[in-house]
Amino acid sequence: MPLWLIDLNQMDEPRDEGHTSVHATHSVVGSELTFGSVTDKISAIVLKRKTPLGWFIGFAISFALFQLMLLTITNLLFKGIGLWGVNIPVGWGLDILNFVWWIGIGHAGTLISAILLLLRQKWRTSINRFAEAMTLFAVAQAGVFPLMHLGRPWLGYWLFPYPNTMGVWPQFRSPLMWDVFAVSTYATVSALFWFVGLIPDFATLRDRANSKPFRLVYGMLAMGWRGSARHWHRYETAYLLLAGLATPLVLSVHTIVSFDFAVGIIPGWHATIFPPYFVAGAIYAGFAMVLLLTIPLRKVYGLESFITMRHMHNMAKVMLATGLIVVYGYTIEAFFGWYSGNQYERFMIWNRMHGPYAPYYWALILCNGVTPQLLWFKKIRSKLLVLWLISLVVSIGMWLERFVIVVTSLHRDFLPSSWGFYSPTQWDWAMFVGTIGFFFALLFLFIRFLPMISIFEMRTILPEAEVAGE
Amino acid sequence: MKSKPRLYGVMAQFDSPSALVAAARETYTAGYRRINGYSPFPIEELSEAIGFTRTGLPLIVLAGGIIGALGGFFMQYWMEVINYPINVGGKPFNSWPAFIPITFECTVLCAAFAAVFGMLALNKLPQPYHPVFNAPNFALATRDSFFLVIESKDPKFDHDEVMKFLKSLEARDVCDVEL
């Protein structure tokens, strides 16, 4: 077990009063909660409470941006991917780096829902549902980019091994094929995991809903769930097994994404450090996104007794730990460049630091390497606005990281006569902003129509859930 | 034909998980076997108390995983070695190490499908109708109430006796569940 998880594990143990203020005052759940109040409070957000005005404004803005994405795609299909700034030598631009960025963000959701479940981290309970939704929606955004980058997206099904009149099969020795399988498996398993987690909560909503259409829809989704002890037993088994399956899966997905780079011979890509470095970066970016979203959300919906300061501290610590791994990755990249003794590798790292894209590199070091060091301090972690800003900086930093990896390696490779320069066009940016809009539009719909905190799992961590005797 | 409605069983309602588990244990000890508990969240002790401790689900998932692994690998093997071998960069037709990532993904995918659909199938879900939904307070089974049912199919089932027995367990309420 990694060291930082052991540390979090110990935090679940009760501490003496006054030993550390953080743990004494910040429990996993508010002490006033009961089975009834947990159920009512969370289901009320969906069923009873008036939708806040901010919801409509937020949804309208993100839905408008989603239209920008559709517009870009239409234009792209019409004119071809020359619309984007990609060309030879930089054939992978914003599209591929956005793919990597989005799919990385998704990884925190699976980490929270699966890995922390296996490690019996009780604090995961109030954020896992939300984080899983984030995973699903982020993966949906990620999928759009490589599909559109195909050039002829309407032939995207050629990537799957189906019997065809041409008589050929996909090239299974290519990491790009592995990627197709990894990402589609990841999306499917994440959706299954999310849906299974929702079944008992659908039943809760079915039994609380006042209006017939809601009762009908939630009733159909609950599939007749009635909380039978036999059902719960198999349910728990299935849930644990799914968590066990999702754990290696999530690690494999970003490993395979990193193979897209590492299997190539381009200087700066052909490195064995890539898989762990990518996985850590993914979790880093993902936790930044979870914080970025939960900090305003808990304020708006008054969920402070569910998502406590304990969660904020723990997530900040995970971010710090993975951030340090990522910084280690940057250091090793620079070290490899020098130690390899290979002139192309040396030039690559020199070019990153001093070439035309040097500002991106140094901004990346500032965002991902320097800023998160503030998280060492408890005082800073306790200030939610600062924590939110740090998360924003990290999200930008992770985007810059992928820019540096994708673009600086490609634009100057082995032969100076084939060097080039890449700058994204307005349509590149339109597509990126559009997917952000799509992501938020989906999230807004999610918090309006589904319980954003797992109700049944919240019940299990209440003190009254303890069975007395024996 | 106006007759007494057929009975699914008798249901007792409790206020806490501890009360339900204690009652379930007593019921099991009293010799009732066709019993079931209903709760708003999973209670490990409850399934033990009603004598339900084993499920075949892990085996189903294992089978799913094995099918996925073999299917994933041999799909690639058949396509790249038997059906349409193409020389790619001088690599052997059976480049098995390169087939591992997809084999792994197929393993996970099939095992996950087996876990979800196996669980639903063993639980006989979706099931739109079930007699327990007829019980008056049963909507609270997804909020804060805990229920114990002795089914009428139980060999020891005798309506009045079961009624008396459940009432003796300090239930908050005992009622008939009609089919």
**Closest to A230 (Cβ–Cβ): which among B52, B86, B140?**
B52
Cis peptide before B126 (omega within 30 of 0): yes
- Which of B118, B126, B140 lies at the smallest CB-CB distance from A223? B126
Quote the CA–CA distance of A59 and A52 in Å, as a whole number. Answer: 11
Domain presence at residue A167: no
B3 — pLDDT class (breaks 50, 70, 90) = low
* Sequence letter at residue B90: G
Length of chain B: 179
Nearest to B75 by CA among B104, B111, B103, B113: B103
Rounded to the nearest 5°, which phi and psi values hold at A170? -65, 160
Say if CB B133 and CB A226 are below 8 A apart: yes
Across chain A, which has 470 residues, the per-10-residue mean pLDDT values are 43 41 57 88 90 94 97 94 91 94 92 87 88 95 94 91 90 94 96 95 94 94 95 96 94 94 91 93 94 93 89 94 96 92 93 96 96 95 96 96 94 92 95 97 95 93 81
Please tell me if residue A161 touches chain B, with a CB cutoff of 8 Å: yes
- Pull the structure tokens for residue A206: 């079915």
On whether the CB atoms of residues A460 and B40 are closer than 8 A, the answer is: no
| Nearest-neighbour CA in chain A from B123: distance (Å) | 6
Question: Where are the strands (E) in A241-288, listed by range?
Answer: none
CB-based contact A405:A39 (threshold 8 Å): no
Under an 8 A CB cutoff, do A238 and B17 touch?
no
Q: What is the side-by-side strand order in the sheet with B7-14?
A: B35-38, B146-151, B7-14, B173-178
> Please, how many CA atoms are within 13 Å of residue A339, restricted to the half-sphere of its CB?
7
Q: What is the per-residue pLDDT across B33-80, written as a single tens digit (0 to 9) for each? A: 999 999 999 999 999 999 998 899 999 999 999 999 999 999 999 999
Token code pair at residue A327: 């910084």
Largest CA distance in chain A: 79
Percent of chain B with pLDDT over 90: 87
Alpha carbon of A371: minimum distance to chain B alpha carbons (Å): 36
Task: Please state at what angle helix A309-339 crosses helix A384-403, rounded to 10 degrees.
Answer: 30
Is A2 domain-assigned? no
Across the interface, which of A36, A227, A242 has its CB nearest the CB of B39?
A: A227
Taking the Cβ of residue A202 and every Cβ of chain B, the question of whether any pair is shorter than 8 Å is answered with no
Q: Given B75, B108, B132, which is nearest A189 (Cβ)? A: B108
HSE on the CB side for B162, CA within 13 Å? 28
In this model, does residue B170 exceed pLDDT 90? no
| Token pair of A189 as six digits | 């398993």
Local structure of A466: helix, strand or coil: coil
The mean pLDDT value of chain B amounts to: 93
Domain count of the fold of chain A = 1
Q: Which residue has the tokens 């020199």?
A: A350
CB contact under 8 A, A185 and B108: yes
Cα–Cα distance between A162 and A60 in angstroms, integer? Answer: 40
CATH 3.30.70 in chain B is located at: 7-54+132-178
Q: Determine contact, residues A357/A350, Cβ cutoff 8 Å.
A: no
Q: Do B91 and A229 touch (CB under 8 A)?
A: no
Please indicate, yes or no, if residue A410 is contained in any of the structural domains: yes
Residue A117, domain extent:
32-154+190-465
Locate the chain A residue with the closest alpha carbon to B55. A234
pLDDT score at A28 = 76
Residue of B nearest to A43 (CA): B143
When CB atoms are compared, the residue of A200, A238, A469 closest to B116 is A238
pLDDT band (50, 70, 90) for residue B5: low
Assembly ipTM: 0.94
For residue A326, being part of any structural domain is answered with: yes
Average pLDDT over residues B125-140: 92
Q: Which residues of A touch B113 (CB under 8 A)?
A: 192
Question: Does A177 sit within 8 Å of B21, measured CB to CB?
Answer: no
* pLDDT confidence of residue A26: 59
Q: B7-54+132-178 adopts what CATH topology?
A: Alpha-Beta Plaits (3.30.70)
Nearest to A146, CA basis, from A137, A133, A156: A156
